[in-house]
Structure 1
Amino acid sequence: MIRILLADDEPLMRVGIRTILSADSGIEVVAEAGTGRETVDLARRYRPDVALVDIQMPDTDGLTAIGGILEASPRTAVAMLTTFGQDDYITRALDGGASGFLLKTAEPQELMAGVRAVADGGAFLSPKVARRVISHLRDRPASPAHAARERVAALSRREKDVLASLGTGRSNAEIARDLHLAEDTVKAHVSAILTRLDLQNRVQAAILAHEAGMSRRE
Structure 2
Amino acid sequence: MKLFIVSDNAKVIARWTLIAGNTQHTCEKLSLDLSHVNADKLEGIGLLHLASLTAGEVGHYLNVYSRIKWIAFSDVPSDSEGLKCLEAGCRGYINTYTTESLCEELFDVVARNDIWAGPSITKLLLNQYLSDRPGLKNAGAALNDVYNRLTRREEMVMRAVLTGAANKEIARDLSITERTVKAHVASILRKTQSKDRVSLIVKFSNRVA
| TM-score bucket of the superposed structures, by smaller chain | 0.5 to 0.7
* 1:117-143 per-position Cα deviation (integer Å, ceiling 9, x unaligned): 212222223xxxx14315635876974
Counterpart in 2 of 1:194?
Answer: none
Counterpart in 1 of 2:26?
Answer: 28
Q: Counterpart amino acid of 2:124?
A: H
User: What is the Cα deviation at residue 70 of structure 1?
Assistant: 4.0
Distance 1:205 1:141, change over 3 A: closer
Per the normalisation by structure 1, the TM-score is: 0.63
- 3-state SS of paired residue (1:98): coil
Distance 1:132 1:69, change over 3 A: same
Counterpart in 1 of 2:7?
Answer: 8
User: What is the Cα deviation at residue 208 of structure 1?
Assistant: 3.1
User: What is the Cα deviation at residue 44 of structure 1?
Assistant: 0.9
- 3-state SS of paired residue (2:120): helix
User: What is the Cα deviation at residue 57 of structure 1?
Assistant: 2.6
Match of 1:52 among 47, 52, 57: 47
Distance 1:134 1:45, change over 3 A: closer
Distance 1:88 1:31, change over 3 A: same
User: What is the Cα deviation at residue 32 of structure 1?
Assistant: 3.3
* 1:39-97 per-position Cα deviation (integer Å, ceiling 9, x unaligned): x6477166131011012334xx2x54454334334332111111121222110011111
Identity of aligned residues (%): 12
Alpha carbons 2:45, 2:107 under 8 Å: kept: yes
* Number of equivalenced pairs: 181
The structure with the larger Rg is 2
Structure 1 runs not aligned, ≥5 long: 192-201
* 1:93-119 per-position Cα deviation (integer Å, ceiling 9, x unaligned): 111111111212211111122122212
**Over aligned residues, Cα RMSD in angstroms?**
4.0
- 3-state SS of paired residue (2:94): strand
Structure 2 runs not aligned, ≥5 long: 148-154, 168-180
Counterpart in 1 of 2:175?
Answer: none
Alignment of 1:105 onto 2:87: no
Counterpart in 2 of 1:197?
Answer: none
Alignment of 1:213 onto 2:206: yes
Alignment of 1:174 onto 2:184: yes
Alpha carbons 2:92, 2:115 under 8 Å: kept: yes
Q: Counterpart amino acid of 1:23?
A: N
* Inter-partner Cα distance in structure 1 for 2:38 and 2:46: 8
